[in-house]
Amino acid sequence: MAFPPIFPPATAGAEFLTGSPYPVAVLDPAGGLRHASPAARRLLAPPADPQHGDATAGPVPAWLRRAHLRLAGGGRTGVVRHSDPLAGTVEAHPSPQADGSVVWWFVGADGCSAVLPGTAGGGPCDWELLTRLSGLLLSSLNVDRILETAARQAALHLADAAVVVSPPRGRTLRFVSALGGGDPVHRQVRADPAEVPGLAEALRGFPPVPSRWIDPSATPDWLVPEGLGRVGSVVVTPLPGHGVPAGALVLLRGAAGGGFDADEEVFARMFAARAGAAVSAAVMYSDQASVTDLLMRELLPPRLAHLNGVDFAGGYRASVDRDRIGGDFYDVHPSAEPDGEALALLGDVSGKGLEAAVMTGKVRNTLHALLPLADDHQRVLQLLNRALLTSHHTRFASLVLASVRREGERVRVRLSAAGHPAPMVVRADGRVTPSSTLGSIVGVLPEATTRTDTVLLDPGEACVLYSDGITEARGGPTGREQFGDHRLQQALGECAGMPAEAIVERVQMLASQWIRDGRHDDMAVMVIAAPPRGHLALVGGRPGRAA
Amino acid sequence: MSGPERAPAAAPPAAVTVPVTGELDHESCDDLLRAVAELLAARPDAEAVRLDCHGMSLCDSMGLSVLLQLRRDVDAAGRRLLLDRRPAHLERLLHLTGTADYLLADHRPH
């Protein structure tokens, strides 16, 4: 014989075929069905009658018989495609044997799962159950909740008990286990996954080994949920994730439960595929959410108060748009010496979302590092410009630097704008004038330039720094009109003599009323004010009326 | 610059004109970048890209960022970028951000 048979003939053949992951059938030279795996029998059976006949019985469908006879008549041995009403497109791959028989392997569009049409009610190939379980698994983006659902449902429908093992981190193994009908339990142990046969491989994403190869008595006690008793059989299946495995599913049956048959193992794999997709989507979501939260925490503007005889107040209203993090920022850095200049700054980064947030962090950190040079605003802005300049994008920042020092009862403010709206100066008599400072944005032009303006604030007077989210806020009667400089100026005129915090609240309130429920960008306001006469005494770090 | 200056009244250099209408913001900026990139690729003979800004109703910080990106792209391609018929709000933005000199400078390809 030129070719050894690829499967043990006769009686042993049926068992061999049963174990095949793909449906397979053997046709004798005349086109009669010699053997077929259970999946192939379901595939080849007439759709109206999905009966499970014995291995040698059952008709061969016409399409397969035709292809088989063509092959037997000396035709080319190619792949035959067939559209099955239940399984969709099926490819039949012939493998002629020396004795004239042909082994036909069937590959469905969806791997081997496509040829597992639903059996009416219950059973291991219950598509309705699988669909219902998929729905349960996908109904949450909470990783723990999904792991619990996977364990609970697997223990209920697939085995006596189920354990969902997460990919190991360090030497600790975390898993959720459930006993049929019971509540899932989170546990973690210091153990090596290799202690469970097949688990280390499954956690690395290797295909599962057949259940009958696993010695149930080798299952370590830490894995077995309390109450299951002696383990009779084990299935270990990987949870396929996006690129990296999402964990592994271990199904356990008690000693009296019997083994897992091939159909049950296939069903477990299909369940695991859905659980893996749900878990990895949730892991991705929670990673993203934690990055966003972390950045948000870092970017929250500081609470401002009274500093070396100057009142500072700030307010920030983030955009309510999908990208939660905006590009506005403000900071106040007190000077090292009591009579030195504090550096206040307020700015805005072009764009929104994470990229804007990253640049905001960069700007704030760089300015913090440049504090010792704060005497020279031009130099600070030049250095900041160089630090931000990149060939990758033209994202930029605009900001205002304000060096603030108390001089007697007045406050001296040196203002330098960098592509930012000039701060407004609110005089005691209600006059509001924009500062004359003007400069270029930082982060995109070869050089940054600015013209510094010095403002002296008498007691009760204030300097207002704001982002264009305020003046460009759209709303009003038409819903499309911008709040605009003149409305801001007018509003500030009514704030003469008010404390810094009250001015911030007033501006925020007016802008909010203007936009009502409309969309808006980030809105930031900071007020630097010379405390009014008679408010000089400090009470607990806050201005209070002198006794 | 050496060589004779090109007289503005002479036949204009082959230029492609891109009308910019409506709001130039984070929603529309990618479209403009793409439109200019496609024109640059399709018209290798064009010496200049003219953005007709007459119909531009708004330009926010993302819009400005895109104009700056266009300037870089067009410079890198050895062409000129011209911002024509600029509305008052755009002039104000270029002035406030100190980008007018850079964006409107006439970098002639050599």
B6 located within any domain? no
Is the pLDDT at A541 greater than 60, yes or no? Answer: no
Q: Is the pLDDT of residue A156 over 70?
A: yes
Q: With 90 as the cut, is the pLDDT of residue A11 above it?
A: no
Residue numbers in A near B72 (CB within 8 A) = 394
Task: Write the pLDDT tens digit of every residue in B36-56.
Answer: 999 888 888 888 999 999 999
Min Cα separation B10/chain A (Å): 32
A449 and B69 within 8 Å at the Cβ level: the answer is: no
- Chain B: residue nearest A440 by CA? B98
- Chain B: residue whose CA lies nearest to A397: B61
pLDDT mean over A284-296: 77
pLDDT of residue A380: 97
Q: Is the pLDDT of residue A147 over 60?
A: yes
pLDDT given for residue A73 in this prediction: 76
Chain B residues close to A436, C-beta within 8 Å: none
Residue A454 CB: number of other CB atoms within 10 A?
12
**Residue A48 burial (CB < 10 Å; 0-12/13-18/19+)?**
exposed
Of the candidates A350, A421, A448, which has its C-beta nearest B64's C-beta? A350
Mutate to test the interface with B, among A444, A451, A466 (most CBs of B within 10 A): A444
Minimal Cβ distance to A348: which of B61, B69, B96: B61
A323 pLDDT higher than 60: no
Tokens at residue B57, please? Answer: 């109703």
What's residue A535's pLDDT? 53
Residues of B whose CB is below 8 A from A468: 61
Examine the domain organization and report whether A495 and A370 are in the same domain: yes
Residue A442: closest C-alpha in chain B: B97
State the CB neighbour count (10 A cutoff) for residue A344: 27
Query: For residue B92, which residues of chain A lie inside 8 Å, CB to CB?
Result: none
Rounded distance, CA B3 to CA A25, Å? 85
Name every chain B residue with its beta carbon within 8 A of the beta carbon of A441.
97-99
Rounded Cα distance, A535 and B81, in Å? 57
**Could you tell me if B88 and B53 are in contact, meaning their C-beta atoms sit under 8 angstroms apart?**
no
pLDDT given for residue A109 in this prediction: 58
Choose one of A90, A115, A140: the last residue of a domain. Answer: A115
Q: What is the mean pLDDT of residues A133-155?
A: 92
Q: How far is A440 from chain B (nearest CA, A)?
A: 4
Q: How far apart are CA A93 and CA A107, in angstroms?
A: 8
Cβ atoms A461, A530 nearer than 8 A: yes
Among A65, A81, A115, residue at a domain's last position: A115
Number of H helices, E strands in chain A: 12, 26
Q: Which of A108-117, A348-357, A514-523, B20-29 has the highest mean pLDDT?
A: B20-29
Structural domains in chain B (count): 1
* Stretch A67-77: mean pLDDT: 77
Distance CA A353, CA A356 (A): 5
Which residue carries 């364990």 as its tokens? A151
pLDDT of A125 reads 60
With beta carbons under 8 A apart, name residues in chain B contacting A478.
none
Contact call for residues A137 and A274 (beta carbons, < 8 A):
yes
The answer to the question of residue B47 being in a domain is yes
pLDDT for residue A138 is more than 70:
yes
Question: Are A293 and A276 contacting, i.e. CB atoms less than 8 angstroms apart?
Answer: no
Residues A156 and A242 in one domain: yes
Are residue A332 and residue A461 in the same domain, yes or no? Answer: yes
Calculate what percentage of chain A has a pLDDT beyond 70: 84
pLDDT at position A51? 47
- Residue pair B94/B104 in contact (Cβ under 8 Å)? The answer is yes
**A413-456 pLDDT, tens digit each:** 999 999 999 999 999 999 999 999 999 999 999 999 999 999 99
Is A197 inside any structural domain? yes
pLDDT at A536 over 80: no
For chain A, the average pLDDT equals 83
Structure-model confidence comparison of residues A538 and A246, the more confident one:
A246
Same domain, A34 and A181: no
Chain A residues with a Cβ under 8 Å from any Cβ in chain B: 348, 350-352, 393-396, 398, 418-421, 438-441, 444-446, 448-449, 468, 472
Q: In this structure, which amino acid lies at residue A81?
A: R
CATH number for the domain spanning A212: value is 3.30.450.40
Quick one: pLDDT at residue A245? Answer: 87
* % of chain A at pLDDT higher than 90: 44
Return the higher-pLDDT residue of B100 and A540. Answer: B100
Structure tokens that stand for B76 in this block: 């890198």
Q: Are residues A65 and A186 in the same domain?
A: no
For residues A439 and A59, which has the higher predicted lDDT (pLDDT)? A439
Domain range enclosing B82: 16-104
Opening angle at CA B92, ends B91 and B96, nearest 5 = 120
Query: What is the pLDDT confidence band of residue B59, given thresholds at 50, 70 and 90?
Result: very high
Taking the CA of residue A179 and the nearest CA in chain B, the distance in Å comes to 52
Report pLDDT digits (tens) over A212-226: 888 888 899 999 998
8 Å CB contact of B98 and A438: yes
Mutation pick from B72, B96, B104 vs chain A, by most beta carbons of A within 10 Å, is B96
- CB distance A393–B61 less than 8 Å? no
**Which among A132-146, A159-173, A418-432 has the top mean pLDDT?**
A418-432
The amino acid present at A189, given as its one-letter code, is V
Q: Is the pLDDT score of B110 beyond 50?
A: no
Residue B5 lies in a domain: no
Domain boundary among A232, A267, A293: A293
Domain harbouring A377, CATH code = 3.60.40.10
Is pLDDT of A402 > 70?
yes
Instruction: State the average pLDDT over residues A126-137.
Output: 87
Are A92 and A105 spatial neighbours (Cβ–Cβ below 8 Å)?
yes
Q: Look at A444 and B68 and tell me if their CB atoms are within 8 Å.
A: yes
What is the model's pLDDT at position A6? 45
B96 neighbourhood in chain A, CB within 8 Å: 419-421, 438
Would you state the pLDDT for residue A445? 95
Q: How confident is the model at residue A189 (pLDDT cuts 50, 70, 90)?
A: very high
pLDDT > 70? residue B109: no
CB A223 within 8 A of CB A134: no
The pLDDT of residue A438: 97
- CA-based nearest residue in chain A for residue B76: A391
Name which of B23, B60, B65 to mutate to probe chain A: the one with the most chain A Cβ atoms within 10 A of its Cβ. B65
Give residues with Cβ within 8 angstroms of A172, minimum separation 6: A188, A189, A190
